[in-house]
Amino acid sequence: MLRYVTTNPGKVREAERYLPDGSVERLDFDYAEVQADELGPIAARGAREAYRHADGPVLVDDAGLFVEGLDGFPGPYSSYVEDTLGVERVHEIAADLDDRRAAFRCVLGYCDGEGFAASPDPVDRGDRDAAAAAGPDEGEGDGGSGDAGADPLPVKLFEGYVPGRIVAPRGDGGFGYDPIFEHDGETFAEMDTDRKNAVSHRGRALEKFAEWYADR
Ligand code: ITT
Ligand code: NA
């Protein structure tokens, strides 16, 4: 059984469409989100922590909204910013910008305690094209913990990206920043789950994961 580790039921609703019925269950576990500029290291460390907690295969999902005109803010801090400022305030801030382009990024981190055939690296990107999204190599030197040395648990990362722009809130589907994120004339909150999945950051990452998982 694969555990999809998240405190966010909205993510699971989307993920279910990509994973065989009955093969995955949600694990409501709040792994520590290390402070980092990039989603990749957060997902990789989260996957290891969740694996040790679950004692079985896990998939963690770290996502964020990156606003161009704000140099990528809130990015990895999207969850904190949603809880503090709120989505409407993020729209108000973006409304004053010349450049309201934005992107959602999602990084999935898979860990099952074993190595991956094709990858001697502790962190293997399932998706090299979008490597920029997760940033430079995970860099086990997190600088904070004091205990040097790479965590040997291998993690495989899958990334997805979708461009769009920040608009006044519309729609009541989805979750999080969906009402203020417009892609192709519609906000994500105006799309149903299948339509959002067909274009979204999470859909792209899940598609890559599902393909790899099916024939690993
Ligand atoms: P977990 O970490 O427990 O999975 P979370 O909601 O905190 O749940 P993230 O840290 O990945 O997840 O999310 C960062 C923020 O981005 C958070 O405020 C989410 O609501 C938001 N977010 C993530 N994916 C989104 C999506 O597809 N559409 C809209 N907002 C999204
Ligand atoms: Na989170």
pLDDT at 116 over 60: yes
Contact 109, 157 (CB under 8 A): yes
Ranges of each domain in the chain? 2-214
Q: How far away, in angstroms, is 45 Cα from ligand 2 center?
A: 12
Contact 6, 106 (CB under 8 A): no
Among 61, 62, 112, 127, the one annotated catalytic: 62
Estimate to the nearest angstrom the gap between the alpha carbon of 95 and the chain centroid: 25
CATH of domain 2-214: 3.90.950.10
In the three-class reduction of DSSP (H, G, I as helix; E, B as strand; rest coil), residue 14 is classed as: helix
pLDDT value of position 147: 41
pLDDT at 72 over 70: yes
In ligand 1, which atom is closest to the CA atom of 80?
A: 18
The answer for residues whose C-beta is within 8 angstroms of residue 130's C-beta and 6 or more apart is 159, 160, 161
User: By CB neighbour count within 10 A (0-12 exposed, 13-18 middle, 19+ buried), where does 1 fall?
Assistant: exposed
ipTM of the complex: 0.98
pLDDT value of position 121: 57
Q: Is the pTM of this model over 0.80?
A: yes
Nearest residue CA, atom 21 of ligand 1? Answer: 176
Q: How far apart are CA 151 and CA 12, in angstroms?
A: 28
More confident residue, 203 or 129: 203
Name the pLDDT band for 122 (thresholds 50, 70, 90): low
Overall average pLDDT of the 2-22 stretch: 92
As a whole number, the mean pLDDT across the chain is: 88
Overall average pLDDT of the 165-182 stretch: 98
Cα–Cα nearest to 160, from 204, 216, 209: 204
More confident residue, 139 or 118: 118
Q: How far apart are CA 216 and CA 213, in angstroms?
A: 5
pLDDT value of position 215: 87
Please report which residue ranges of the chain form alpha helices under DSSP H.
Answer: 9-15, 39-54, 78-84, 87-95, 131-134, 193-199, 201-214
Query: Is residue 83 annotated as part of the catalytic site, yes or no?
Result: no
The answer for residues whose C-beta is within 8 angstroms of residue 118's C-beta and 6 or more apart is 124
The amino acid occupying position 45 is R
More confident residue, 114 or 145: 114
pLDDT at 134 over 70: no
Which of 18, 65, 178, 194 best tests ligand 1's pocket when mutated (most atoms within 8 Å of CB)?
A: 65
The pair of structure tokens assigned to 205 is 């990452």
